Structure formats: C-alpha cells, structure tokens
Amino acid sequence: MSRKEGQKLKLLALIEILARETDEKHPLSVPRLVELLAQRGIEAERKSIYADIDTLNDLPGGRFEILQRRGRGGGYYMADTPFELAELKLLVDAVYTSKFITARKSKALIEKLGQFTSKWQQAELSRSVLVSGRIKSQDEKILYTVDTLHRAITAGVQVRFKYCDWTLDKRMVPRHDGKFYQVSPWTLVWENGNYYLIAYTDGQLKHFRVDKMARAEELPDAPREGADAYAGFDVNTYTQQLFGMFNGPAKKVTLRCENRLAGAMIDRFGTEPTLVPRPDGEQFDLTVTVQVSPQFFGWVAGFAGGVEIVGPADVRAEMKKVLDLLQQRYR
C-alpha cells in the first residue's frame, strides 16, 4: 500500500472512530486514538493525529467539526454530526409509536438511526415510549405499499389495489369480491398513527387506509386525474373535519361548549373558528365544518354533556337518535 493510500485509509478510520466513539462527554486522547487505529491495523504517530484533525477541520464546507476538551480526562471529540441527539430521539419516538411499522422493523430502523451518533448517545435511543393501547402492525408489506404510492404520486400516474377488511377470524379479506380499486393518488397523510392515501376517484377526493391495501400497483399508462379538485384541497382542513378518519357528509355544525373546553376545541379545530361567548358567561358557541358520522357523535358524547349540538336541526336530531339507541342498549 502506498503512503498516500495509507493516509486516506487512516483519515477514514479516524473519522469513524471520532464519530462512533466520541461526543462532548466522551473525548479521546491522542494516545488512545493511536491505540484504536492500531487495533484496525493502521500505524500512526502522535504528531500525525494532530495534523489529521486539522485537515478534517479545514475541509471545505465545514463537514467535520472536531473540538478539544482540555484538562484532566480531556481529548478530542466529534461535535458536528448529521443529527442532534434531540432530533434523533424525535425520529425514534415516531418510529416506535407508529402502528403501521412492525416491531421487528421498528427495532431495525432505530438501530440504523443510532449509527448517526456516538455509541454513547445511541444507548439513549434504546428507550421505550409508553403509548397506551398501541398495537403494532404485524405486516411489513405496508412499507412497500407506501413506496409504491410515493412513486405513483411522483410519476403522476394512477394506482390500483385491493381494499380489505378484518374478519372475525382475524384475516384481511378484500372488499367487493376481490375487485381492484383504481384511483388517482395525490398525497399521503399520517393521522392517528396510520397512513392514509388521499386519492381522486368517482369524481371526488377520498381517503384510504394504507395498511388495508393489498397488491398495490402503479399504472404507468393511466395518467392521474383530479388536478382541479386537488388544487383547492387543504389537507389540514380535511383532517379537522374528519373524526377517526371516517367519511360522512360535510356540514356546518354549531356547537355550544362549556368555557373549560375552549382548549379542547382549539386543539381539534385550530384557532380559525371564532369562539362566541354566551350571555350566561359560562358557555361559548363555535361553528365548524365537520363530516357528520357516528364517530363525530361519539366524540360529542365523550364530553359528558359539556358539548351540545345546537344546529342544524337534522344533525341535532341524528345525535338524539344515537343517544336514544344507547339508552335502550344500556337500559
């Protein structure tokens, strides 16, 4: 091996050691760096290490930042990494709590994320985030379905898939006797730990849960449709109108709420709707557009009388039917 090739190999090994073995709390002395290089079969003099660190710090673009901590127990450490530890923790939490990622794939992804920081900080990523009642998917095919949908969206073509439901014996069975759904995909939404596809079909935009899709395929010869409908689409408004991602007719509904629930309403509908105080000083009204469904009525009932549907009359009447049915069931 030529001296030039050996120097390149030494620099690469030094970068790897600094990236994985050091951080601000765990610097390495130059003698220790020499030892670790020797363990990799690379001989180095102490003077050359100082020169190598200067070379890495002087690289154009400031790709590496290697700092020195002086004093007892001091040494050199890699300060500039692709991700801050706090950023990696956020990514790990997102992976861990996602229902659509299997437990095995979650573990593998978290291990890969750990390669972007030191081994000392990686240990902090191996933590469990407590999520009550969270059930992880058992099917890794969803990752490939998501990839297929992304490719189709980028290419501007339609997709087809079989859409499934769970049976009592815990099997996923296609709807409509196994016929393919053919839709024009526009965007993917992550809501309540699940992926949903927003697609144009039958003259309107609809959503489909990605983990219920089977045999998703791109259709390269079928250009995507629904550009005009999607041009005026606001995904945030759409998800605010839905409850549990269940479809229903969109209607403007006026809700009368106890003042203590102002925060709950803002969390659900954002700051745009006006909260109109009532003369009694204890309640307020707000008018929002929602997709009226049984899940919406269940959401209202969940406030145990703190929220009342004031209008329109037909939605209020539907709420009463739901409550009458529940009263009969629990009589």
pLDDT for 129-148, tens place per residue? 444 444 555 566 787 888 89
pLDDT at 279: 93
User: Residues of CATH 3.30.70 domain(s) within the chain?
Assistant: 250-329
Which residues in the chain are classed under CATH 2.30.30? 141-231
Query: How much is the pLDDT for 100?
Result: 66
Q: Which of 204, 201, 203, 198 lies closest to 186, judged by CA?
A: 198
CA separation for the pair 34, 38 (Å, rounded): 6
- CATH 1.10.10 placement within the chain: 3-78
Looking at the domain covering 141-231, what would its CATH class be? mainly beta
CATH of 250-329, one of 3.30.70, 3.40.50, 3.30.1380, 1.25.40: 3.30.70
Banded pLDDT at 243 (limits 50, 70, 90): low
3-78 CATH: 1.10.10
Q: What pLDDT score was predicted for residue 286?
A: 92
Q: Report the residue count for the chain.
A: 331
Query: pLDDT tens across 169-228, in order?
Result: 677 889 989 999 999 999 888 776 678 899 999 998 988 988 889 999 999 999 999 999
Tens digits of residue pLDDT in 5-28: 456 688 888 888 888 888 888 899
pTM of this prediction? 0.55
Could you tell me which of 24, 122, 13 has the C-alpha nearest to residue 75? 24
CA distances to 179, 205, 240, 282 from 273, in Å: 42, 24, 12, 18
Lowest-pLDDT range of 44-48, 85-89, 320-324: 85-89
List C-alpha distances in Å: 184 to 19, 161, 208: 44, 11, 12
> Which band of pLDDT confidence, cut at 50, 70 and 90, is reported for residue 2?
very low
